[in-house]
Amino acid sequence: MEDDIVQKVKSNQKYQKLVSTRSSYGWTLTWIMMVAYYGFIMLVAFNKELLGLKMGAGVTTWGIPIGLFVIVFTVIITGVYVRRANGEFDELTAQIRKEVM
């Protein structure tokens, strides 16, 4: 019985669309995040002078807002994925369950 349900799900067009869309979307966001994170790490490794430059007359350096940007960007990109997952991906999953069960 269980193998039959698995085969129905795997052969469902909506399931195949869900898997490919979710996978490509996840990898796209992963690469965007990697560029942001590793870009910051490359700045730390190869351009310490830029990160150590003071912003204006205060004591804050450019490294602080750039580092905060990476942290905030991580939260934002996670929110973007969760929003789409809770909307489009959950709807497709519910439709697949209805059709298969």
- Residue 12 is predicted with a pLDDT of 86
Residue 64 has pLDDT above 80, yes or no: yes
How long a stretch of residues is the chain? 101
Strands (E), 1-101: none
Quote the mean pLDDT of the chain.
92
pLDDT of residue 6: 85
DSSP per position, 73-91: HHHHHHHHHHHHIIIIIHH
Residue 42 confidence (pLDDT): 96
Give per-residue pLDDT as tens, 19-32: 999 999 999 999 99
Rounded Cα gap, residues 57 and 40, in angstroms: 24
86 pLDDT tier (thresholds 50, 70, 90): very high
